[in-house]
Amino acid sequence: MAMLEVKDLQVYYGMIQAIKGISFEVNQGEVIALIGANGAGKTTTLQTITGMLSPKAGQVIFEGTDISKIPGHKIVSMGMAHVPEGRRVFANLSVLQNLRMGAYSLKDKGEIEHNLQRVYKSFPRLEERKNQPAGTLSGGEQQMLATGRALMSSPRIVLMDEPSMGLSPIFVDEIFSIIEEISSQGTTVLLVEQNAKKALEIADRAYVLETGKIALSGDAKELMTNESIRKAYLGE
Amino acid sequence: MSFLSYLINGLSLGSIYAIIALGYTMVYGIAKMLNFAHGDVIMIGCYVVFTMTNSFHLDPLASLGIAIVFCTVLGVCIEKIAYRPLRGANALAVLITAIGVSYFLQNLALIVFGSDTKSFTSIIEAEPLVLAGGKLKIPVITIVTVLSCVVIMAALMLFINKSKAGQAMLAVSEDRDAAQLMGVNVNNTISLTFAIGSGLAAIAGVLLCSAYPTLSPYTGAMPGIKAFTAAVFGGIGSIPGAFIGGILLGVIEIMGRAYISSQLSDAIVFAVLIIVLLVKPTGILGRPIQEKV
**Per-residue model confidence as pLDDT tens digits over A51-103:** 999 999 999 999 999 999 999 999 999 999 999 999 999 999 999 999 999 99
Which CATH number fits the domain that encloses residue A62?
A: 3.40.50.300
- Lowest mean pLDDT: which of A137-151, B94-108, B123-137? B123-137
State the complex-level ipTM.
0.93
Alpha-helical runs (H) found in A137-195: 139-151, 169-184
Count CB atoms within 10 A of the CB of residue B200: 29
- Whether B153 and B239 have beta carbons less than 8 Å apart is answered as yes
% of residues, chain B, pLDDT over 90 = 72
Of A226, A203, A236, the closest CA to residue A35 belongs to A203
Please judge whether A153 and B168 are an interchain contact, meaning their C-beta atoms are less than 8 angstroms apart: no
Asked if A97 is an interface residue toward chain B (Cβ–Cβ < 8 A), one would say yes
Beta-strand pair A4-13/A16-26: antiparallel
Residue A118 forms part of a structural domain: no
**B177 closest CB neighbour out of A88, A102, A153:** A88
Distance CA A24, CA A15 (A): 24
Distance CA A148, CA B137 (A): 59
The Cβ-side half-sphere exposure at B259, using a 13 Å CA radius, reads 14
Residue A67 forms part of a structural domain: yes
Residue A212's domain comprises 4-87+157-232
**Number of structural domains, chain A?**
1
Q: Which residues of chain A are within 8 Å of residue B167 when distances are taken between CB atoms?
A: 97, 100-101, 104
Residue A131 forms part of a structural domain: no
Residue A146 forms part of a structural domain: no
Mean pLDDT for B56-82 is 95
Alpha-helical runs (H) found in chain B: 2-31, 38-54, 60-78, 91-113, 140-162, 164-174, 176-181, 186-211, 221-234, 239-255, 265-279
Residue A121 forms part of a structural domain: no
Count CB atoms within 10 A of the CB of residue A142: 23
So what's the pLDDT on residue B291? 43
Residue A49 forms part of a structural domain: yes
Residue A113 forms part of a structural domain: no
* Sheet strands (E) in A78-147: 80-83
Distance CA B200, CA B21 (A): 10
User: Using one digit for the tens of pLDDT, what is the confidence trace for A38-63?
Assistant: 889 999 999 999 999 999 999 999 99
Please judge whether B185 and A71 are an interchain contact, meaning their C-beta atoms are less than 8 angstroms apart: yes
Mean pLDDT for B277-287 is 84
Is the pLDDT higher at B263 or at B133? B263
Distance CA B233, CA B224 (A): 14
Give residues 174 to 233 of A whose Cβ lies within 8 Å of B: none
The Cβ-side half-sphere exposure at B261, using a 13 Å CA radius, reads 6
Mean pLDDT for A218-233 is 86
Question: Which residues, including other chains, have CB under 8 Å from residue B229's CB and lie 6 or more apart?
Answer: B245, B249, B269, B270, B273
User: Using one digit for the tens of pLDDT, what is the confidence trace for B209-225?
Assistant: 998 888 999 999 999 99
Asked if B174 is an interface residue toward chain A (Cβ–Cβ < 8 A), one would say yes
CA B250, B254, B260, B261 torsion: positive or negative?
positive
Q: Which residues of chain B are within 8 Å of residue A48 when distances are taken between CB atoms?
A: none
Of A22, A87, A15, the closest CA to residue A49 belongs to A22
Please judge whether B183 and A105 are an interchain contact, meaning their C-beta atoms are less than 8 angstroms apart: yes
At residue B121, the 3 state secondary structure works out as coil
Mean pLDDT for B148-174 is 95
Of B197, B152, B226, the closest CA to residue B45 belongs to B197
pTM metric for this prediction: 0.91
Please judge whether A88 and B164 are an interchain contact, meaning their C-beta atoms are less than 8 angstroms apart: no
Residue A107 forms part of a structural domain: no
Asked if B289 is an interface residue toward chain A (Cβ–Cβ < 8 A), one would say no
- Lowest mean pLDDT: which of A169-178, B101-110, B273-282? B273-282
The average confidence (pLDDT) of chain A is: 94
Please judge whether A72 and B171 are an interchain contact, meaning their C-beta atoms are less than 8 angstroms apart: no
Nearest CA in chain B to A98: B171
CA B167, B173, B179, B180 torsion: positive or negative?
positive
User: Using one digit for the tens of pLDDT, what is the confidence trace for B197-253?
Assistant: 999 999 999 999 998 888 999 999 999 999 999 999 999 889 999 999 999 999 999
Distance CA B168, CA B175 (A): 10
Asked if A88 is an interface residue toward chain B (Cβ–Cβ < 8 A), one would say yes
